[in-house]
Amino acid sequence: MDAVVLAGQDNEGRLRDVSDQAYEALIPICGRAMVDWVLDALENTPAISRVRLVGPRMTRPGIEVLSPGDTLFDNIERGLRGLPPDEPVLVATADIPLITPAIVATFLEEAQRLGEADMIYPIIPQAAILGAWPGVQRTYFRFAEGVFTGGNLFLVRPQVAAVLHARAERLLQHRKSPVLLARDIGYGTLLKFLVGRLPIAQVEARAGELLGIRGRALVFSHPEVGVDVDKPSDLKLVQELMEEAESGTHA
């Protein structure tokens, strides 16, 4: 299948304190741009036939580079444009440099077992994250089945991108108004979520109604997909892990 890497995030957040690169994807880790590690993983996954990059111009043979837009959804739409509308596309962010071909292949295999869906999104158990790196900080959500954080690797069918964009933007506009957001989500659903008793299946169903898609959540126990580099402590952790792996390889 095709794969799209989202690398259009300007370096205007917390990573600005440790790097003056224009884009977060270009911040170096072990002497290479962060996005290069993600591209390596995708290019070496047998199930991936073509990789597109939405982000800064860079020279890398075999990679189609597309200019980024103004928002995340703009970049998703640009990356999916012109691809077969009903064929799933793997989308990855540029800030998960710890992923490997084996992790990507496992994600695709497990996603396939979920059956037909317009979008498959991984949720990573808190225990998997903290079991690997006890000090790492993530945003977690409690559901009836446990505590999870979102992943940064997902499958989506290009034909739903425009609908997803329009409806998601409306929800984001309501995020600062508790009344509007509660009305969108439903008061009963929101209450269950706030007390940590909302089942994942109900999240899938309500999200599908709101976004107009058939979505599935995949409980995925590989923490590398849930730890994105968006602050200096993440960058330090990833740098140390890669240096340890490199020294072990040469030992």
Q: What is the mean pLDDT of each run of 10 residues along the chain (251 residues)?
A: 96 94 96 96 97 92 93 92 95 97 98 93 96 91 94 94 80 65 77 86 89 92 95 94 77 47
Domain boundaries, the chain: 2-250
72, amino acid identity: L
Query: What value, to the nearest 5°, has the Cα angle with vertex 105 and ends 74 and 234?
Result: 60
Residue from 133, 127, 114 nearest 217 by CA: 114
Count, in order, helices (H) and strands (E) of the chain.
9, 11
Please tell me the predicted confidence (pLDDT) of residue 2: 97
> Do residues 124 and 148 make contact, with C-beta atoms less than 8 angstroms apart?
yes
Class of domain 2-250: alpha beta
Residues 119-157, buried b or exposed e (16+ Cβ, 10 A)?
bbbbbbbbebbeebbeeeebebeebeeeebbbbbbbbbb
pLDDT at 45: 97
Please give the pLDDT value at position 6: 97
pTM to 2 decimals? 0.91
Please tell me what DSSP assigns to residue 205.
Answer: H
Place of tokens 């506009």: 173
Longest distance between any two alpha carbons in the chain, whole Å:
59
